[in-house]
Chain A
Amino acid sequence: MFVTSCTKKLDTKPIDPLVTTSATLFDNPAAYKQFLAKLYGSLALSGQKGQFGAPEIQASDEGTTCFLREYWAAEEVTTDECLNAWGDGGLVEYHGGIWSDNNLYVQLMYERLFINIAYTNEYIRDVNAKLGGLTGSLKNDATQYVAEARFLRAYFYYCAMDMYGNCPFATEADLPGTFIPKQIARADLFKYIESELIAIQPTLADAGANEYARADKAADWALLSRLYLNAKVFTGTDRSTDCITYCNKVISSGKYALHNNYRNLFLADNNSYRDEIIMPIAEDGVNTQSYGDMTFVIHAAVGGSEDAANEFGIASGGWAGNRPTNTFVNKFADPSGNTDKRAIFYTSGQTIPITNPTVFTQGYLSAKFKNVTSTGARGSNDTFVDTDFPLFRFAEIYLNYAEAVLRGGSGGDRGTALSYINKIRDRAYGNASGEITDGQLTLPFMIDERGRELYWEAFRRTDLIRFGLFTGGSYLWDFKGNVPNGAATDEHLNVFPIPASDRLLNSNLKQNPGY
Chain B
Amino acid sequence: MLITKKTSNLLIVTNVPVLSNFSSTLLQNVADMTNKGAELGLNAVAISTKDVNWQIGYNISYNKNTVTKLNNANNNPDFIQTNPNSGIAGTTSGLIQANKVGYPLNSFYVFQQIYDANGKPIEDGYVDRNHDGQINSADQYLYKKPDPTVLMGISSSVRYKRIDFSFSGRVSLGNYNYNNVASGSTYRGLYSSLGYLSNQTKAANDTKFTNALQTNLSDYYIQNASFFRMDNMTVGYTFPTFSNNKYKLRVSAGVQNVFVITSYKGLDPEISGGLDNNFFPRARIYQLGLNCNFQ
Contacts and interface: CB of A to CB of B under 8 A. Distances in A.
Contact of A58 (B13, B21, B88): B13
A89 B217 contact: yes
B19 A87 contact: no
Interface in A64-110: 64, 85-93, 98-105, 110
B137 A505 contact: no
B57 interface: no
Interface in B190-249: 191-195, 211-214, 217
B179 interface: no
A320 B194 contact: yes
A98 B79 CA distance: 22
A99 B84 contact: no
Contacts of B211: 87, 356, 358
Contact of A101 (B71, B138, B188, B213): B138
A161 to B, nearest CB: 15
Interface stretch (A112-120, A127-135, A202-210, A437-445): A112-120
Nearest to B87: A60
B137 A89 contact: yes
A103 B136 contact: yes
Contacts of B23: 56-57, 115
A224 B162 CA distance: 94
B17 interface: yes
A502 B18 contact: yes
B91 interface: yes
A168 B188 CA distance: 42
B49 interface: no
Interface in A312-328: 317-318, 320-321
Given A99-B136, A507-B74, A181 B18 contact: yes
A100 B79 contact: no
A361 B192 CA distance: 10
B118 interface: no
Contacts of A121: 19
A97 to B, nearest CB: 9
Interface stretch (B2-10, B92-100, B287-295): B92-100
B19 A114 contact: yes
Contact of B24 (A92, A115, A177, A317): A115
B92 A111 contact: no
A110 B24 CA distance: 10
B193 A360 contact: yes
Nearest to A317: B194
A86 B212 CA distance: 10
B51 interface: no
A61 interface: yes
Contact of B136 (A98, A321, A504): A98
Contact of B193 (A61, A85, A177, A504): A85
Q: A interface, by DSSP: helix, strand, loop or mixed?
A: loop
A504 B76 contact: yes
Interface residues of B, number: 46
A110 B25 CA distance: 13
B285 interface: no
A88 B93 contact: yes
A505 B16 contact: yes
Contacts of B84: 58-60
A448 B161 CA distance: 94
Contacts of A170: 19
A305 B193 CA distance: 9
A102 B92 contact: no
Contacts of A176: 19-22
B94 A89 contact: yes
Given A58-B84, A317-B194, A358 B95 contact: no
A304 B137 contact: no
B135 interface: yes
Given A105-B93, A356-B211, A505 B74 contact: yes
Given A56-B24, A304-B195, A168 B19 contact: yes
Contacts of A358: 188, 193, 211-213
Interface in A462-512: 500-502, 504-507
A505 B194 contact: no
A505 B15 contact: yes
A359 interface: yes
Interface string A177-204: 1111100000000000000000000000
Interface string B27-49: 00000000000000000000000
Contacts of A180: 17, 20, 73
B78 interface: yes
A181 B20 CA distance: 7
B140 interface: yes
Given A56-B22, A176-B21, A87 B138 contact: no
A360 B188 CA distance: 11
Contacts of B80: 500-501, 504
B273 to A, nearest CB: 15
Nearest to A179: B20
A349 interface: yes
Contact of A505 (B22, B73, B195): B73
B263 interface: no
B17 A168 contact: yes
Contacts of A506: 17-18, 73
A487 B150 CA distance: 51
A303 interface: yes
Contacts of A303: 193-195
Given A58-B13, A86-B92, A506-B17, A92 B22 contact: no
Given A89-B137, A89-B214, A502 B93 contact: no
A180 B73 CA distance: 9
A111 to B, nearest CB: 4
B134 interface: yes
Given A118-B19, A356-B211, 13 more contacts: A60-B92, A61-B93, A89-B213, A92-B213, A100-B139, A117-B19, A317-B194, A321-B193, A358-B212, A361-B195, A501-B80, A502-B18, A507-B76
26 contacts: A57-B23, A60-B93, A61-B92, A61-B93, A64-B93, A85-B193, A88-B93, A89-B94, A89-B137, A89-B214, A99-B136, A104-B95, A115-B24, A118-B19, A168-B19, A176-B19, A177-B20, A303-B195, A304-B195, A320-B192, A320-B193, A349-B195, A358-B193, A501-B80, A504-B76, A505-B15
6 tightest A-B CB contacts, nearest first? A60-B87, A360-B193, A320-B193, A100-B138, A114-B18, A102-B137
